Amino acid sequence: MAHTERRDAPGLPDFSLLKRLARDQLIFLLEQLPGKKDLFIDADLMSPLDRIANVTILKQHEVDKLYKVELKPIVSSSDQLCFLIRPRIQTVKWISDLVNSDKVAGRFRRYKIIFTPQKFYACETVLEEQGVYGDVTTDEWNFYILPLDDDILSLELPEFFRDNFLEGDQRWVTTAGSALHLLQSVYGSFSKVYGIGRCAKMVYESWRELMEEGEQRTRQPEFAKVFLIDRDVDFVTPLCSQVVYEGLVDDIFRIKCGSVEFGPDVTSSDKSIKVMLNSQDKVFDEIRNEHFSNVFGFLSQKAKNLQTAYDKRRGMDIQQMKAFVADELKGLKQEHRLLSLHIGASESMMKKKTKQDFQELLKTEHSLLEGFEIRECITHIEEHINRQVSMIDSLRLLCLLSITENGLLSKDYKSLKAQYLQSYGIEHLLTFANLRQLGLLEEQQAGETLTVMESKVGKLVTDKTVGKLTDAFSSLAKKSNFRALSKRLALVPKSGEEYDLRVPRDMAYVFSGAYIPLSCKLIEQVMERDGWTGLEEVARMLNGQEFAVTGGCSSSEARNKTDAQRIVLVMFLGGCTYSEISALQFLGKERGCRFIVVTTAITNSARLLEALLDNGASV
């Protein structure tokens, strides 16, 4: 393959331990309600749960029937109902209604709610307000982290992004802090913590408090450094079309909790097949981080190899054949199956992606990133909207345009918005309000209106309050400064140079050599400098809130070049994309270290924007 593993790359800690811990606790909780019971599971917990404890295990612990929470009246004859849910007001309200209707019907049952990863006071308030607090027992299942792969850990909290960045609801901050604390208590403490973003800072604070409360354990740490980053530090990267294999699969087929469902067009049969995508799949493991243009070549090479391996059979005597069947055939068959699946997937993607539309989309994206031929881009976006090509893609291009250009000219903003509403309906007024609040799609203001307002307010109240106000307004005041950042960090390689995607020379390969993901570049720079020195200007442009703290480990220990010193834990607050993971893997191989990604959820442009829609369905 294009880049081979450096031989001194450090080994990774065993994260399956986290799964075992979660499973044991769940079993303990289920046993708290002895006897047969029906289990209701939040829809988005189904897949994660399946990775922790499958149906057989649940049945062993007297779970009778399994239902998905659908917020509709239920049909269950069991006398014991157990609910495994995320702490959402809506779901708790549904349960309360259920209990109350049972009461009216004179039916006696036992109810138990298991909140995961933790329960919130607001949920208990709802139980209390609905008058069922005494009828229901509640528990917490501290299932903070799901290892999706050897080096990808997910909190599986897609709502983190909207709640935290749009609604200003910081309740998940403690969850993220607890997740870090869990990692620390299982795998040892970290020598250094870096971070950028308001949320990152709060998560660190919450984690630090947990550390202080809990007992200090001194053990050989398994990671050296932690980097916390807010999603709103870099919105550009998740808005770009992904062209690395795994990212592309996610964009097109949507990877859910580490597995994907390939439809009939891929499997070339009439059935859909669910496939786990992780390092266990040897074929996938080799192509996941590759630029899509290389994948076909690789796969055909692989197919040839496979054929040769099969061909070995010819001219074998009985003994050799026996050995072949015993040792190799199964592996080959497996590889064969996977290979044909990935070839099918590639074909299907190729069909979609080689269309002219997609090529033009990529071209527009690249122009926007480079800041080149903006007028034409706007025309293209306009056409895109007028032709109703794709609701999400149009929005994505609009956002990308706004961020890279520091907001749209008032005239363009109004006209594009009006056209978008004509195409997709007036309810997107709310979507636009959300996008503006997040600083994703803005109208250029004449002058620095906000700063003026701030200084006015500043005269009226004390400095401390101004600080708070500025915090509150930070998302409003956010200037993306993308051009300046891009220049300073050399995110966009000079155009005209040939970029050989077969032999990537930097992280830009994940976007066809057109752009180095800002988030990953930041991580690279901070790791290189061991802090933010020299990056003050960059941090200021990113709205500050950067920090670097030396952790519990003594410095002498840190100087030891143990394996652990070369493992870096990167936590994305608000989600990260597969492209970013690929870029970090590349960086790790270049530098002989390993990156472990912890994210609140895997995201991509579609998920990011869908979270910000405010149409009837999502309320």
Cα separation of 524 and 584, whole Å? 9
Least separation in angstroms between CB 374 and other proteins: 19
How many angstroms separate the Cα of 511 from the Cα of each of 366, 423, 437, 574? 9, 30, 28, 21
In the list 254, 351, 387, 540, the residue contacting other proteins (rule: CB under 8 A) is 387
3-state SS, 57-100, equals HHHHCCEEEEEECCCCCCCCCCCEEEEEECCCHHHHHHHHHHHH
Within 8 A by CB and 6+ apart from 386, the residues are 419, 423
The token pair that represents 572 in the structure block = 């994305």
In the list 380, 417, 521, 607, the residue contacting other proteins (rule: CB under 8 A) is 417
Residues in contact with other proteins, shown as a per-residue x/- string from 83 to 122 under the rule CB under 8 A: ------xx--x--------------------------xxx
Least separation in angstroms between CB 208 and other proteins: 10
Count of residues touching other proteins (by CB under 8 A): 46
Q: Which of 459, 586, 429 is nearest to 521 (CA)?
A: 586
Specify the residue, 102 or 169, whose C-beta has the smaller distance to other proteins: 169
In the list 279, 280, 388, 449, the residue contacting other proteins (rule: CB under 8 A) is 388
Specify the residue, 205 or 557, whose C-beta has the smaller distance to other proteins: 205
Within 8 A by CB and 6+ apart from 261, the residues are 253, 272, 273, 274, 275
Specify the residue, 62 or 205, whose C-beta has the smaller distance to other proteins: 205
In the list 133, 310, 324, 424, the residue contacting other proteins (rule: CB under 8 A) is 424
Binders of other proteins among 458-477, rule CB under 8 A? 468, 472
Specify the residue, 429 or 490, whose C-beta has the smaller distance to other proteins: 429
For the chain, give the number of residues.
619
Bridge partners, residue 273, by sequence: 262
Specify the residue, 307 or 465, whose C-beta has the smaller distance to other proteins: 465
Q: Does 543 help bind other proteins (rule: CB under 8 A)?
A: no
Least separation in angstroms between CB 510 and other proteins: 26
DSSP H or E segment with residue 148: strand 146-149
Q: Does 383 help bind other proteins (rule: CB under 8 A)?
A: yes
339-374 burial, b for 16+ CB within 10 Å, e for fewer? Answer: bbbbbbbbebbeeebeeeeeeebbebbbbbbbeeee
Q: CA Rg, the chain, in Å?
A: 26
Specify the residue, 1 or 429, whose C-beta has the smaller distance to other proteins: 429
Least separation in angstroms between CB 435 and other proteins: 13
The token pair that represents 603 in the structure block = 């995201």
3-state SS, 35-55, equals CCEEEEECHHHHHHHHHHCCH
Binders of other proteins among 162-221, rule CB under 8 A? 163, 167-171, 173-174, 202, 205-206, 209
Q: Does 293 help bind other proteins (rule: CB under 8 A)?
A: no
The token pair that represents 548 in the structure block = 């670097």
Specify the residue, 370 or 614, whose C-beta has the smaller distance to other proteins: 614
Binders of other proteins among 431-460, rule CB under 8 A? 433
In the list 8, 14, 24, 129, the residue contacting other proteins (rule: CB under 8 A) is 129
Which residues lie near other proteins (CB under 8 A)?
89-90, 93, 120-122, 125-126, 129, 163, 167-171, 173-174, 202, 205-206, 209, 382-383, 386-388, 414, 417-419, 421-427, 429-430, 433, 468, 472, 614-616, 619
